[in-house]
Amino acid sequence: KNNEIRELVIKNVSHCYKMRENLLREDLDAFGQGLDTAWHFKRKFTKEISSNYLDEIYTYAIQNGAGGGKLLGAGGGGYFLFFVEHFKKVKFLNAMAKKNLYQTLFNFDQDGMQSWSIRDTSENGK
């Protein structure tokens, strides 16, 4: 089993370099497909990587226009990042909203992941 995992890690690292090259070359379609391949690699590491619910979301997203995706974060507060071609965006967002799954806007930057939450200090929020 350890040899299988070791080989999978080597393939995954090599694949990540290909995805980096796709980004640098601005080949976003290949990058999206690369996310899908990476998702399938990641799921082979352990059964705890995903769940039936997450697998359903991922499959539904692919069926509705996503080229690939990645699970971000840990525990109960993570996100899916999906690559969707521009002309498929409306269909994708409408389909996800039907499942009560909504987008969160974000930007790429050089500092890595940052998030903030705002405390409700109004009388209703106590």
Task: For residue range 9-51, list pLDDT tens digits in order.
Answer: 899 899 999 999 998 999 988 999 999 998 888 888 877 778 8
Q: What is the pLDDT of residue 62?
A: 95
Q: Who has greater pLDDT, 107 or 99?
A: 99
Q: What is the DSSP letter of 74?
A: S
Cα 109 from chain centre: 17
Tokens of 39: 């998702």
Residue 23 sits at the vertex; the CA angle it makes with 19 and 26, to the nearest 5 degrees, is 135
Tokens of 55: 């697998």
- Which amino acid does the sequence have at 61? A
The whole-angstrom separation of Cα 73 and Cα 28 is 23
Average pLDDT over residues 100-125: 73
Q: What is the pLDDT of residue 76?
A: 60
* 95, HSE (Cβ side, Cα atoms, 13 Å): 16
